[in-house]
Amino acid sequence: DTAVSQTPKYLVTQMGNDKSIKCEQNLGHDTMYWYKQDSKKFLKIMFSYNNKELIINETVPNRFSPKSPDKAHLNLHINSLELGDSAVYFCASSQDLTAIRSGNTIYFGEGSWLTVV
Report the residue number, 84 or 103, with the smaller CB distance to other proteins. Answer: 103
How many residues line the site for other proteins (CB under 8 A)? 26
Should residue 45 be labelled a site residue for other proteins when binding is judged by CB under 8 A?
Answer: yes
Closest C-alpha among 34, 33, 31, 106 to residue 71: 31
Closest contact distance (angstroms) between CB of 40 and other proteins is: 7
Contacts for 58 with CB less than 8 Å, ≥ 6 apart: 44, 45, 46, 47
Closest contact distance (angstroms) between CB of 70 and other proteins is: 20
Should residue 43 be labelled a site residue for other proteins when binding is judged by CB under 8 A?
Answer: yes
The answer to whether residues 73 and 24 touch, using CB atoms and an 8 Å cutoff, is yes
Count of residues making up the chain: 117
Site string for other proteins, 20-39 (x = CB under 8 A): -----------x--------
Choice from 4, 32, 87, 114 touching other proteins (CB under 8 A):
4
Closest contact distance (angstroms) between CB of 63 and other proteins is: 22
Which strand ranges, in their side-by-side order, compose the sheet holding 19-25?
4-7, 19-25, 73-78, 64-70
Choice from 11, 29, 48, 66 touching other proteins (CB under 8 A):
48
